[in-house]
Amino acid sequence: MSILSDFLNENTISPADVHQRSCALEAQNIDDRALQVGRQAARRAKKPYAELSLGKPKGLGRGVGVATVQRAIAGAPLPRVARKKIVRAVNSLLASRKMEPTDARKLFSDAPARKGKSGKKK
C-alpha cells in the first residue's frame, strides 16, 4: 500500500475517522464566515488585508471525502490541499490520543504530487 496506510494501521486510525475529523475541522463557523466577508469587501475596495487586519479563516469549508482518503491510502497522486486536509485530520486524531503530531512529508513521501493543468501559453 503506502506509508500513510501503514501509519494509520499502526495507530489504529480508520479512514472513516479521518473523514469525520476532517469534516469537523474544515467546517466554517461564524467567525470564519465573517473573515471571508471582510476579505471579499477588501478585494472589492482593492485594499490589502493587512491594512484591515484580516486573517485567514481556519476552516477551508469542506472536509476531505472518503474516496480521497482511500486514494491516499492506495498511494495515488493527490493535490496539495487534499494532503493538507488529511494531515490536519490525522494530527487532530493523534492529539486527542495524546500522541505526537506527524509531518506531511513523512506520510506522503512515497506518493507523487498530482500535477495540475499548465498555464496558458502566450
Query: Which residues lie below 8 Å from residue 108, measured CB to CB, with a gap of 6+?
Result: 3, 4, 72, 78, 83
Would residue 120 count as lying in a domain? no
User: What are 22-75's pLDDT values in tens digits?
Assistant: 999 988 888 888 888 888 898 899 988 888 788 887 777 788 999 999 999 998
Mean pLDDT of the chain: 87
Tally the C-alpha atoms within 13 A of residue 9's C-alpha that lie toward its C-beta.
Answer: 7
User: What are 64-82's pLDDT values in tens digits?
Assistant: 999 999 999 998 999 888 9
Output the pLDDT for position 121: 65
Question: Which of 59, 79, 103 corresponds to the end of one domain?
Answer: 59
Would residue 119 count as lying in a domain? no
103 with 50, same domain?
A: no
Under a CB-based contact definition with an 8 Å cutoff, are residues 25 and 60 in contact? no
User: What are 92-112's pLDDT values in tens digits?
Assistant: 999 999 999 999 888 888 777
67 with 108, same domain?
A: yes
Closest CA to 111 of 64, 66, 79, 65: 79
User: Predicted confidence band at 21 (pLDDT cuts at 50, 70, 90)?
Assistant: very high
Closest CA to 23 of 98, 105, 103, 86: 86
Separation of alpha carbons 85 and 61, rounded Å: 11
Output the pLDDT for position 122: 60
Query: Which residues lie below 8 Å from residue 99, measured CB to CB, with a gap of 6+?
Result: 11
Q: How many domains does the chain have?
A: 2
What predicted TM-score, i.e. pTM, was given to this entire model?
0.79
Vertex 115: Cα angle to 110 and 118 (nearest 5) = 160
Question: Range of 40's domain?
Answer: 29-59
Q: Which amino acid is at 99?
A: M
